[in-house]
């Protein structure tokens, strides 16, 4: 056989169609088999995408589960505004697990490095228990990190929210096994198989709205750890860190104290798709201080019940 022969049969189903069909199937399976699902919703592009897919899965019905935001207190204001507007528009119920509440009453203590991402685990687990949620949707993708690359689409967690990577259930065909016992819950990742470029291509195709900081804008920033950090109350510059105005955008949106921006002129979705297609850095490598701590940073946090 010569490679120039094309065996491809045209069915009109491209990569994005296949990924969409898979994600909607997963979302419906979880809603059908679990009592009280919830979606982790930060206003970040991946959780926005899962919510969009859920609206398609149940149209003309309303999305049949609430959303949960683990609020570190270090939020970008435009993301909170977007979160509230989205929840209002879709007629959803918003649950908030507030890290600040835990710090205020002493259940958690601020870390020396000021980063609050690792502090999210306890409020998250408490909110899952309080809401009696047996399934928790997340927007995690396997291409984000080497540990995530090994996680199942339905990932069983014990009562401490822990992931046991060495004892995962085999995941076969498109038959998802959601059996769990009292105290356990399942994390469900419908967009496991999407890449960053798939996400952006789909956002462009579907015209999905995102918080404005995903697109190029001018911002007061300073340089730290090879990343541009935004100036804010929770992320002040240290002496010696020069503050300057740059045209930047965010590739991920997380806690303001540890999420960096990248220099970019990509002001539209189409610009971003082009930029991502030619990027030479992974999104987490480029923008997340917390994932740079060690080679196993993500694995350790997942084992402890993090997303």
Identify residues 187-216 at the interface with other proteins (CB under 8 A).
192-193, 195, 197-198
Which residues contact residue 273 at a Cβ distance below 8 angstroms, ignoring those fewer than 6 apart?
197, 200, 201, 204
Nearer of residues 89 and 238 to other proteins, judged by Cβ? 89
Q: Does 251 bind other proteins (CB under 8 A)?
A: no
Q: Does 143 bind other proteins (CB under 8 A)?
A: yes
CA distances 100 to 110, 116, 128, Å, are: 10, 10, 17
> Least distance from C-beta 258 to other proteins, angstroms?
17
Element (H, E) at 246: strand 244-249
24/190 Cα distance (integer angstroms): 7
Nearer of residues 75 and 192 to other proteins, judged by Cβ? 192
**Interaction residues for other proteins, span 52-81 (CB under 8 A):** 55-64
Q: Does 89 bind other proteins (CB under 8 A)?
A: yes
DSSP per-residue codes, 123-159: HHHHHHHHTT-SEEE----GGG-TTGGG--SEEEE-T
**Interaction residues for other proteins, span 36-55 (CB under 8 A):** 55
> Least distance from C-beta 7 to other proteins, angstroms?
5
Nearer of residues 152 and 249 to other proteins, judged by Cβ? 152
Q: Does 182 bind other proteins (CB under 8 A)?
A: no
> Least distance from C-beta 271 to other proteins, angstroms?
19
> Least distance from C-beta 89 to other proteins, angstroms?
6
> Least distance from C-beta 25 to other proteins, angstroms?
4
Q: Does 147 bind other proteins (CB under 8 A)?
A: yes
Would you state the structure tokens that stand for residue 20, as one six-digit string? Answer: 């969409």
Q: Does 112 bind other proteins (CB under 8 A)?
A: no
72/123 Cα distance (integer angstroms): 10
- Torsions phi, psi of 95, nearest 5? -105, 140
CA distances 29 to 24, 63, 92, 280, Å, are: 9, 14, 20, 36
> Least distance from C-beta 306 to other proteins, angstroms?
15
Site string for other proteins, 5-24 (x = CB under 8 A): xxxxx-xxxxx-xxxxxx-x
137/124 Cα distance (integer angstroms): 13
Nearer of residues 76 and 137 to other proteins, judged by Cβ? 137
Nearer of residues 81 and 101 to other proteins, judged by Cβ? 81
190 close to 26: Cβ distance less than 8 angstroms = yes
């Amino acid at each position: 056989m010569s490679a120039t022969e094309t065996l491809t049969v045209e069915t009109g189903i491209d990569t994005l169609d296949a990924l969409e069909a898979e994600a909607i199937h997963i979302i419906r399976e979880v809603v059908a088999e679990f009592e009280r699902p919830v979606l982790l919703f930060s206003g970040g592009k991946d959780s926005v995408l899962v919510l969009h897919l859920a609206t398609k899965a149940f149209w003309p019905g309303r999305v049949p589960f609430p959303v949960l935001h683990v609020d570190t207190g270090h939020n970008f204001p435009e993301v909170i505004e977007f979160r509230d507007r989205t929840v209002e528009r879709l007629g959803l119920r918003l649950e908030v697990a507030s890290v600040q509440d835990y710090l205020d009453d002493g259940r958690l203590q601020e870390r020396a490095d000021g980063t609050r991402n690792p502090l999210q685990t306890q409020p998250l687990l408490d909110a899952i228990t309080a809401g009696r949620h047996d399934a928790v949707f997340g927007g995690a993708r396997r291409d984000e990190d080497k540990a995530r690359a090994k996680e199942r689409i339905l990932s069983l967690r014990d009562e401490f929210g822990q992931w046991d990577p060495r004892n995962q259930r085999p995941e076969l065909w498109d038959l998802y096994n959601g059996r769990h016992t009292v105290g356990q819950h399942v994390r469900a990742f419908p967009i496991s198989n999407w890449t960053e470029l798939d996400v952006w291509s789909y956002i462009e195709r579907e015209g999905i709205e995102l918080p404005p900081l995903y697109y190029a804008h001018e911002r007061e920033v300073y340089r730290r750890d090879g990343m541009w950090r935004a100036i804010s109350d929770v992320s002040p510059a240290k002496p010696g860190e020069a503050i300057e105005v740059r045209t930047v955008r965010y590739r991920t949106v997380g806690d303001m104290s540890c999420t960096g921006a990248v220099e970019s002129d990509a002001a539209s979705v189409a610009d971003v798709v082009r930029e991502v297609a030619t990027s030479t850095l992974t999104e987490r490598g480029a923008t997340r201080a917390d994932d740079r701590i060690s080679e196993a940073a993500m694995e350790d946090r997942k084992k402890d019940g993090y997303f």
